Structure 1
Amino acid sequence: MQLAEIHIHPLKSCRAQLVEQALVEPMGLQHDRRWMLIGADGQFMTGRQFPRLVLIEVAADTQGACFTAPDMPELRVERADMNEDVPVEVWRSAFAARTGSWDADFWFSDFLGVACRLVYVDAHTTRRTHADPSVPVGFADGYPLLLIGTASLADLNARLTQPVSMRQFRPNLVVQTGQAFVEDGWQRIRVGEVVFENVKLCSRCIFTTVDPEQASLHPKQEPLATLNGYRRSEAGTMFGINLVARGTGLVKLGDAVEVLA
């Protein structure tokens, strides 16, 4: 098996950036989900409520990020501008993030049509995963990384009248597999030079029904409706696995994927 795709989402719910290689850090892939939008109450904003977020493209680097969106001028935000502590909350997990760019706040508020603020989190975050209090996590829903096998998507698409892309499920790592949902049973894997642990199957929500190209909700809630028919359990409708990295290093397209346990 080989690593087939690498997806980075620098802003929570933004369009995926497909890259050829990525640095794995304790918080996940470098730059992944380090930026987020919050409302006036500090609650996180995602494509579930604001589908237009999926149209925003982000190019992140060690100094900051450039944001582009339809009919909007390019926005550059420097990490150094984010110099004000602000309380935020992601799925009942309360912690501190950084804000400070009024230009960014006006830019995103204009694009979404609702008042919001841009926040940033770095490696000093106090937020931790539910499964392991030693593992930091940024603005991801709960875990640093998400992996999906290509055969799992192929199995789903064979059941749909209109196939969907991998972008719809917002993974970080996509592995070329020959058997649908084989990844569910992996406990530990090595991708290139990094070992990962499967800590939990990923329960899917209404966000999977947002078309990543059109920013529109599917009228019949596909592909979630079909997934509910054969992947639903007491824990939710599962598609993909949540990972934590047991080390750091580089992963690249074509890297061998080895199941260790």
Structure 2
Amino acid sequence: MTAVVTDLITYPVKGCAGVALTESGLTPAGLTHDRAFMVVDDSGVYRTQRKDTRLAVIRPEVSWDGGRLTLRAPDVEPLEIEVDTESPRCDVDLFGAPFRAVDQGADAARWLSDVLGTDCRLVRVPPEHDRVTDGLHPGTSGFADSGALHLLSRSSYDDLNARIEAAGRAPVTLSRLRPNVVVDGWDAPHTEDAVRNVGIGNTELGFAKLAVRCAVTLVDQDSGERAGPEPLRTLATYRRQPGGGVSLGAKFSVLRTGKLTLGDELDVTVWESAAE
């Protein structure tokens, strides 16, 4: 039952492409720079792949010190900007919840508006960002949908694709599921659902809740085009949740910060109790 970390992926700009890592710092808000930036409309309302699917083709890169952000997309000149954490704060909306952010300027706004074909701004979480996320172990995050870290086991992913293929449809890529941490070594699918406290490297995570999946999983992450109905069609046959939606993987809060590295073993110290 020993599981190890096989993939680490951070998403510096919410909704944009992930960045594969060999190691990463783990902050209270998750992997370093994860969802630190967000694309919004002129009113400050968040944009995601649910509607703006071409976010998937934008590939961000943050410098080691967090001071520079580079944005790349097909057939467009890259844009490099100096990250602003000092300018006056602006109001933004994430799923109806109000937050404060720092606008990253006119150059980023123009570049994103051209790539997405609609008016956009780019904002960053301010240093004083104090969002509290819910779940069994409450925590914090940047502009992620909810918890700081999305953990998915390879056995859960393989089981999903086996079901999709058994129905005569093409499997989905791992990128469609947008995990932060992928682990291998648990034979039974959905073992992550039963983890309550786990050490990885010198860090500790606490289970928050199951990861309810949305229409972003229907988007081809290479083309930026909707490619549904998988995986939601198949997940609906065996992973429906009592509160609505379908789940795959789990969200975790950071109980102890530190460093994660590919190959780190997981040490589960608390499993789900029978009472739960």
> Could you say which TM-score interval applies, normalised by the shorter chain?
over 0.9
Aligned counterpart, 1:79: 83
Aligned counterpart, 1:101: 105
RMSD of Structure 2 on Structure 1 (CA): 1.5
Aligned identity (percent) is 32
Which sections of structure 2, spanning at least 5 residues, go unmatched?
Answer: 271-276
Aligned counterpart, 1:218: 227
1:67 and 2:71 aligned: yes
Does the 8 A contact of 1:27 with 1:123 survive in 2?
Answer: no
Q: Where do 1:103-142 residues align within 5 Å? A: 103-131=107-135, 135-142=139-146
Q: If the length of structure 1 is used for normalisation, what is the TM-score? A: 0.95
Q: If the length of structure 2 is used for normalisation, what is the TM-score? A: 0.90
Q: Where do 1:1-261 residues align within 5 Å? A: 1-61=3-63, 62-80=66-84, 83-131=87-135, 135-160=139-164, 161-176=169-184, 177-219=186-228, 221-235=229-243, 236-261=245-270
* CA shift digits 1:140-173 (9 cap, x unpaired): 0011110000000000000112111211111111
My pick for the range that moved more, 183-192 or 73-82, is: 73-82
Alpha-carbon spacing, 1:134–1:210, altered in 2? closer, same or farther (3 Å): closer
The alpha carbon displacement at 1:82 in A equals 6.3
Distance 1:20 1:132 in 2: 29
Which sections of structure 1, spanning at least 5 residues, go unmatched?
Answer: none
| Structure 2 SS opposite 1:124 | coil
Q: How many residues align?
A: 260
Alpha-carbon spacing, 1:25–1:80, altered in 2? closer, same or farther (3 Å): same
| Structure 2 SS opposite 1:167 | helix
Distance 1:231 1:127 in 2: 29
* CA shift digits 1:98-126 (9 cap, x unpaired): 00410000000000000010000144103
Distance 2:195 2:174 in 1: 20
User: Which letter maps to 1:52?
Assistant: R
| Structure 1 SS opposite 2:133 | coil
Does the 8 A contact of 1:201 with 1:238 survive in 2?
Answer: yes
Distance 1:69 1:108 in 2: 10
Does the 8 A contact of 1:37 with 1:117 survive in 2?
Answer: yes
Distance 1:150 1:122 in 2: 34
Alpha-carbon spacing, 1:22–1:40, altered in 2? closer, same or farther (3 Å): same
Alpha-carbon spacing, 1:134–1:189, altered in 2? closer, same or farther (3 Å): closer
| Structure 2 SS opposite 1:214 | coil
Distance 2:54 2:86 in 1: 24
Aligned counterpart, 2:273: none
Does the 8 A contact of 1:67 with 1:75 survive in 2?
Answer: yes
